Amino acid sequence: EAGVVQSPRYKIIEKKQPVAFWCNPISGHNTLYWYLQNLGQGPELLIRYENEEAVDDSQLPKDRFSAERLKGVDSTLKIQPAELGDSAVYLCASSYGTGKQFFGPGTRLTVL
Amino acid sequence: GENVEQHPSTLSVQEGDSAVIKCTYSDSASNYFPWYKQELGKRPQLIIDIRSNVGEKKDQRIAVTLNKTAKHFSLHITETQPEDSAVYFCAASRASGGSYIPTFGRGTSLIVHP
């Protein structure tokens, strides 16, 4: 069984530029999570989807961040415009009802 | 919201020793407590979990204990090996709708010296 796939693995951009991250969850997993992980810290939840519905986006900075999960499978997370403080690893995870989450490899974003 | 405290932030042990990592949580509605291991540059991987109706769970060299009354849970690793070196994260999760809302601790860097 294929795991959670994320791309790109690394992204370097200049501040004020837009950036997008893509996630493909494990087949059949209806719940998808996006996290932000700063160096030396635990993952922080940004948004949680159940199928195509964003059921919890209270921690998503909506002035610059947006996300979508069309058709309830793949998801994209976008930042526009990026700021220096957005440099971090962006993790995607999926699960199916049990709470057990399976993480993708993450996208390491560097904003210059 | 939920608040998870994890201690220690760094733990250094000799190979063969035991290691214990402790977490406390604040929300009594949390009912699922997973532990993740993250090696440098890799994804977090679930190593063991426990639900609120169970007090202890063991899987070979690792075990987790839960005290619901005191709102704390711990990870125990026995006979540590160098390959156990990694960052370990605890999480407290509560059910919401058809899924769970997790809150992670800040992590413990475990170093096992050969």
Note the pLDDT of residue A44.
95
Mean pLDDT of chain B: 96
pLDDT category at A1 given cuts 50, 70, 90 is: low
Question: Could you give the percent of chain A with pLDDT greater than 70?
Answer: 99
Interchain contact B105–A (C-beta under 8 A): yes
pLDDT category at B59 given cuts 50, 70, 90 is: very high
CA quadruple A95, A76, B42, B80: dihedral sign: negative
Instruction: For strands B4-7 and B108-113, give the pairing.
Output: unpaired
Contact indicator for B66, B50 with CB cutoff of 8 Å: yes
**Cα–Cα–Cα angle for B67, B25, A62, nearest 5°?**
150
Chain A residues in contact with B97 (beta carbon < 8 A)? 50, 55
User: What dihedral angle (degrees, nearest 10) is formed by the CA atoms of B59, B62, B63, B64?
Assistant: -120
Kindly list the distances between the CA atom of residue A87 and the CA atoms of A37, A53, A107, in Å, as whole numbers in the listed order: 9, 27, 10
pLDDT (tens digit per residue) in A11-23:
999 999 999 999 9
Q: Give the gap in angstroms from C-alpha B15 to the nearest C-alpha of chain A.
A: 24
pLDDT (tens digit per residue) in A72-93:
899 999 999 999 999 999 999 9
Interchain contact B76–A (C-beta under 8 A): no
Interchain contact A105–B (C-beta under 8 A): yes
